[in-house]
Amino acid sequence: MNRKTIFITGCSSGFGQMIAQHFQQHGWNVAATMRTPEKDTLLHTLPNVKLYRLDVTIPETVDAAVIQAITDFCKIDVLVNNAGYGALGIFEKAKEEDMRRQMETNVLGLMRVTKALLPHFRANRSGTIINIGSVAGELAFPYFALYNASKYAVNGFSKALYYELKMQGIAVKLVLPGMMKTDFFGRSMTVFEDNAVKGYEKFEETTRHNIMHMAERGEDPALVVRTVFKAATTDTFRLMYPVGWQARLLLILKYILPHPLLRRIMETAITRRKI
């Protein structure tokens, strides 16, 4: 049997690790990339999985991992751009470094890995690029200004890239999860701190409380894994893959409600009083 190969970023935890494990169990080769492979306790033990050091913000690690994975597996069939984190909080409290790091990781990092794999996909006249976007790339939420900006960029990038790669035989797919129960709102969330910025106390306390409350009720991340598997194994150019009831509901509301009304509902539900 000719095994297919998937290349995934951000495999140390959450969706990335689960996607790697799922594809391995379904007979795929997996190029599992992460910032610190020496900390891995699971994936390196699985057959047909190889680990590569890759930090999406360090171009040399991207190029080296892509070259090595192509050398090891000869052909990459699917790229999953998963690595990312959430820089949340009151925008006025964000530092220059917070802004740069969020965009550098979630947006430029994803573009960088895509660009590194494109010559290989084009030479094969095939390949699938699956970007883990977010419903936060289709709708804006209070407290999410920087993260929203990064995911709107990911979603917009994916939608535009779709056209130019389709004629090369390469499919771009955009997976749109709602809030999922990974450790995203723990290990992968940074909150801006700046005691000199006053005046947001009540808004911040309520909004943060409500966001964390909703995150605790996040959906099963296995839904994302199954959706990525479907996107990778369905031979079509379908672009959008919403995941879970939250994402579906929010996207329906976005299309049927007038935007001022939707904004008012969101504002009342999230910022006015604690859930």
Ligand X SMILES: NC(=O)c1ccc[n+]([C@@H]2O[C@H](COP(=O)([O-])OP(=O)(O)OC[C@H]3O[C@@H](n4cnc5c(N)ncnc54)[C@H](OP(=O)(O)O)[C@@H]3O)[C@@H](O)[C@H]2O)c1
Q: Which residues are catalytic?
A: 147
Smallest separation (angstroms) from ligand X to the CB of 55 = 4
Smallest separation (angstroms) from ligand X to the CB of 195 = 27
List the Cα angle 81/85/89 in 5-degree steps: 145
Complete edge-to-edge strand list for the sheet that includes strand 49-53: 49-53, 29-34, 5-8, 78-81, 127-132, 170-177, 240-243
Site string for ligand X, 64-103 (x = CB under 6 A): ------------------xxxx------------------
Q: Is 227 in the site for ligand X (CB under 6 A)?
A: no
Q: What is the DSSP letter of 218?
A: P
Q: Is 248 in the site for ligand X (CB under 6 A)?
A: no
Smallest separation (angstroms) from ligand X to the CB of 166 = 24
Q: Is 21 in the site for ligand X (CB under 6 A)?
A: no
Amino acid residing at 11: C
Task: Classify 128 as helix, strand or coil.
Answer: strand
What b-and-e string marks burial along 153-171, b requiring 16 or more CB atoms within 10 Å of the CB? bbbebbbebbeebeeeebb
Site string for ligand X, 22-61 (x = CB under 6 A): ------------xxx------------------xxx----
Please answer whether residues 139 and 95 qualify as being in contact, where contact means their C-beta atoms are separated by less than 8 angstroms.
no
Q: Is 129 in the site for ligand X (CB under 6 A)?
A: no
Residues 6+ apart with CB under 8 A from 222: 18
Q: Which residue is nearest to ligand X (CB)?
A: 14
Please answer whether residues 70 and 118 qualify as being in contact, where contact means their C-beta atoms are separated by less than 8 angstroms.
no
- Contacts with ligand X in 192-221 (CB under 6 A)? 218
Stretch that binds ligand X, among 65-73, 173-181, 232-240, 254-262 (CB under 6 A): 173-181
Q: Is 244 in the site for ligand X (CB under 6 A)?
A: no
What b-and-e string marks burial along 182-195, b requiring 16 or more CB atoms within 10 Å of the CB? bebbeebbbebeee
Smallest separation (angstroms) from ligand X to the CB of 167 = 28
Structure tokens at 193: 């701190």
Stretch that binds ligand X, among 9-17, 87-95, 194-202, 260-268 (CB under 6 A): 9-17
- Contacts with ligand X in 133-152 (CB under 6 A)? 134
CB nearer ligand X, residue 163 or residue 244: 244
Q: Is 158 in the site for ligand X (CB under 6 A)?
A: no
Please answer whether residues 120 and 70 qualify as being in contact, where contact means their C-beta atoms are separated by less than 8 angstroms.
yes
Smallest separation (angstroms) from ligand X to the CB of 83 = 3
Structure tokens at 29: 């080769």
Instruction: Give contact residues for ligand X (rule: CB under 6 A).
Output: 9-10, 12-16, 34-36, 55-57, 82-85, 105, 109, 132, 134, 177, 179-180, 182-184, 187-188, 218
